[in-house]
Amino acid sequence: MRVSALALTALAALVRADLELDAEDVPAPCAVICKPVRELSSICDVDDSRVPDDHTQSLLEAQCICTNDSFDVGKITALCASCIKENAKTDDDKDGLEDVGSIMSTCGFASTSFASSQATLGETITVNATRPTASSQLTTTITGGSSAPSTTGSGASGATASATTSQSKNAGPTQAPRVAEYVAGLLAVGAAAVL
pLDDT in tens, 27-52: 999 999 999 999 999 999 988 888 87
Q: Which residue has the higher pLDDT, 18 or 84?
A: 84
Confidence (pTM): 0.67
Given a contact cutoff of 8 angstroms between Cβ atoms, the answer to whether 135 and 55 are in contact is no
Q: How would DSSP label each residue in 70-127?
A: SS-HHHHHHHHHHHHHHH--SHHHHHHHHHHHHHHHHHTPPP----GGGTTGGGG---
Task: With CA atoms as reference, report the closest residue to 88 among 41, 28, 21, 40.
Answer: 28
Q: Is 120 exposed, middle or buried (0-12, 13-18, 19+ CB in 10 A)?
A: exposed
Q: What are phi and psi of 142, to 5 degrees?
A: -100, 120
CA distance 68 to 150: 7
Q: Does 74 have pLDDT greater than 90? A: yes
Q: Which residue has the higher pLDDT, 179 or 96?
A: 96
CA distance 87 to 116: 11
Task: With CA atoms as reference, report the closest residue to 40 among 151, 157, 183.
Answer: 157
Give one word for 144, left, alpha or beta, with left for phi > 0 and alpha for psi -120 to 50: left
pLDDT in tens, 107-165: 999 999 999 999 899 999 999 999 999 888 888 532 222 333 333 333 333 333 222 22
